[in-house]
A and B are shown apart, each in its own frame.
Chain A
């Protein structure tokens, strides 16, 4: 069996959620790595959009460090700016909104604003803020999220909802007129999650090699539902790893 890092497993697993030909709005962080890998493997016809405003039908020549990195724009198809890519989101033309965050709850709401109670200013720990994640998750047809997991990060209810998942449950997105379908898949540092069609609650669909359902439940602050068909995530092959590692020669994303 191939030796691989957790970041490599997460990247390759996430990429499987992208189908060839889809319009993917790529957020900052590991999503950039996933997009580069998807382009290089099963999704050469993917269309990549970034917050900085790059629209591209081909993989970037060099690995972008951020979403506004000139490397993401080099050789792009259109580089009109954020107005063009975010407008595509608002028109409902984005298939996959691919985001990260710091904290997620059982309905897939995401917090990237800060830890603690915002109204208690003296103790609130600010993170960077929404960035484009809120816009992406409001209007993208489906949301793919990549998250670190422990009990403080997988919570019953986010301390601050920056980015809407299913909010308080079924029907709430629709009632607010959101055009996007909401969270579809979450890939954490421990496993893969999907959302129940009726309850909109997140459930465990796959556990990573070396993890177990019990360990994952212990790293989740609510009583996590587990799919009766839960499986172990397929490990990356040598060939997949070779392609992936060549895309990040300095280990900026993969470590």
Chain B
């Protein structure tokens, strides 16, 4: 196997693999939101992006829309829950700068599952009878079930050009290890991406380590374009086992999102003013202190490790060499008689 080292800087990952006009799968939900990548996309002033995801919290997508990077979104739910609204998205929609296509959560998940499976559309129970059906014919249609003749709602398959996700661990080849509460659709949205996946992770592990627990891999290396070592890459959302949700920072950021005239100041200070994620975290420490980060440390049930040992052990099939076939008189007699009958014809 070719050992291609895909590690690179956040800056290189975004400049090489995200192009203006791309459809981007936006990872996470209320945790594992790819915030470091969000900031980098804003810094590099990417334009006319379309995003697909099922639900996304902590205002990452609100910032991207507010900064003018995203002009079309397909979603079930977007806001910064800690200020209770998607303010920049609301303003962009009102001004006609943003096209928005609404669908239910499972509608979005199903659309990405269809993309993941490489099929054109998939049936779904929800959405029928609502205004989402009326206003989002781009994603939702009614067809006749060929088996029963009944009306059935279907969603179009969603496939991004490129996916951006955050995970706990990744190896240099790009095997992505995500566990616990990984959001809801990263495996579908990422694997369904046409060009591939950009992943930021808390830790880089050796491929030999990944291969001791391959059940944890949600994206295999051949789908991965870029690997970025990025501690706190999902902040202020959570990364299970590493840090919890930073409610206070989300509220702080949300108060900036709320006011059109204030948002540029937030972007100047926290995004344009920080050259990378490390600088963003340093900025956090200097403004709000190390204690803010310390509060996020896992305390409940996160450590040390599951009590149930998982043994992937298996026998070596070579052990069958030289072992005669199992048989008995009845099987032998039956097969012999059958052969004689066939031979007789």
Check B31–A70 contact: CB distance below 8 A.
yes
Label chain A's interface by main secondary structure.
Answer: loop
Residues of B within 8 A of A132 (CB): 55, 76-77, 104-106
Residue of B nearest to A158 (CB): B131
Check A129–B77 contact: CB distance below 8 A.
yes
Q: Is B135 an interface residue (CB 8 A)?
A: yes
Quote the shortest CB–CB distance from B103 to chain A (angstroms): 7
Q: Is A61 an interface residue (CB 8 A)?
A: yes
Q: A125-B90, A127-B85 are known contacts. Are A134 and B126 too (CB-CB below 8 A)? A: yes
Q: How far is the CA of A78 from the CA of B247 in the complex (A)?
A: 26
Check A134–B104 contact: CB distance below 8 A.
yes
Q: How far is the CA of A125 from the CA of B181 in the complex (A)?
A: 31
Q: Is B29 an interface residue (CB 8 A)?
A: yes
Of B132, B135, B301, the residue contacting A75 (CB under 8 A) is B301
Segment from B36-44, B238-246, B285-293 that makes contact with A: B238-246
Residues of B within 8 A of A68 (CB): 29-31, 55, 57, 181, 183-184
Segment from A172-180, A187-195, A198-206 that makes contact with B: A172-180
Q: A68-B30, A69-B30, A86-B105 are known contacts. Are A52 and B129 too (CB-CB below 8 A)? A: no
Check B104–A130 contact: CB distance below 8 A.
yes
Q: How far is the CA of A82 from the CA of B129 in the complex (A)?
A: 23
Check A70–B244 contact: CB distance below 8 A.
yes
Residues of B within 8 A of A103 (CB): none
Check A121–B94 contact: CB distance below 8 A.
yes
Residues of A within 8 A of B104 (CB): 130-135, 138
Q: How far is the CA of A134 from the CA of B155 in the complex (A)?
A: 15
Of B54, B180, B185, B247, the residue contacting A70 (CB under 8 A) is B180
Q: Is B300 an interface residue (CB 8 A)?
A: yes
Check A178–B75 contact: CB distance below 8 A.
no
Quote the shortest CB–CB distance from B116 to chain A (angstroms): 11
Residue of A nearest to B113 (CB): A83
Check A124–B93 contact: CB distance below 8 A.
yes
Check B109–A82 contact: CB distance below 8 A.
yes
Q: Is A214 an interface residue (CB 8 A)?
A: no
Residue of B nearest to A81 (CB): B184
Quote the shortest CB–CB distance from B287 to chain A (angstroms): 23
Of A73, A82, A160, A178, the residue contacting B125 (CB under 8 A) is A178
Check A73–B79 contact: CB distance below 8 A.
no
Q: A68-B31, A69-B245, A118-B131 are known contacts. Are A82 and B106 too (CB-CB below 8 A)? A: yes
Q: Is A90 an interface residue (CB 8 A)?
A: yes
Residues of B within 8 A of A54 (CB): 181
Check B94–A128 contact: CB distance below 8 A.
no
Q: A52-B30, A122-B96, A126-B93 are known contacts. Are A178 and B128 too (CB-CB below 8 A)? A: yes
Interface residues on A, range: 35 or more
Q: Is B277 an interface residue (CB 8 A)?
A: no
Q: A71-B300, A74-B300, A132-B76 are known contacts. Are A122 and B94 too (CB-CB below 8 A)? A: yes
Give how many A-B residue pairs fall within 8 Å (CB-CB).
Answer: 175
Residue of B nearest to A28 (CB): B81
Q: A70-B181, A79-B181 are known contacts. Are A164 and B130 too (CB-CB below 8 A)? A: yes
Check B105–A131 contact: CB distance below 8 A.
yes
Of B79, B105, B300, B302, the residue contacting A135 (CB under 8 A) is B105
Q: How far is the CA of A79 from the CA of B30 in the complex (A)?
A: 15
Q: How far is the CA of A52 from the CA of B240 in the complex (A)?
A: 13
Interface residues in B149-176 by Cβ distance below 8 A to A read 150-152
Quote the shortest CB–CB distance from B170 to chain A (angstroms): 19
Residues of B within 8 A of A62 (CB): 300
Q: Is B7 an interface residue (CB 8 A)?
A: no
Residue of B nearest to A179 (CB): B125
Q: Is B10 an interface residue (CB 8 A)?
A: no
Quote the shortest CB–CB distance from A84 to chain B (angstroms): 10
Check A139–B125 contact: CB distance below 8 A.
yes
Q: How far is the CA of A90 from the CA of B104 in the complex (A)?
A: 13
Residues of B within 8 A of A127 (CB): 79, 85-86
Q: Is B199 an interface residue (CB 8 A)?
A: no
Residues of B within 8 A of A90 (CB): 106, 124-125
Quote the shortest CB–CB distance from A65 to chain B (angstroms): 7
Check A67–B30 contact: CB distance below 8 A.
yes
Q: How far is the CA of A123 from the CA of B90 in the complex (A)?
A: 10
Residue of B nearest to A64 (CB): B30
Quote the shortest CB–CB distance from A135 to chain B (angstroms): 4
Quote the shortest CB–CB distance from B277 to chain A (angstroms): 21
Residues of A within 8 A of B30 (CB): 52, 66-69
Q: Mark A138-159, 1 if CB is under 8 A from B, else 0.
A: 1100000000000000000000
Q: Interface on A for B, CB 8 Å cutoff?
A: 28, 51-54, 61-62, 65-75, 79, 81-83, 86, 89-90, 113, 118-119, 121-135, 138-139, 160-164, 167, 172-173, 176-179
Q: List 21 A-B contacts (CB under 8 A).
A: A53-B184, A66-B81, A68-B183, A69-B30, A70-B244, A82-B184, A90-B124, A90-B125, A113-B132, A122-B94, A129-B76, A129-B78, A130-B105, A132-B77, A132-B104, A134-B105, A135-B105, A135-B106, A160-B131, A164-B129, A177-B151
The 8 closest A-B pairs by CB, nearest first: A82-B184, A68-B30, A134-B104, A131-B77, A132-B105, A128-B79, A135-B126, A86-B106
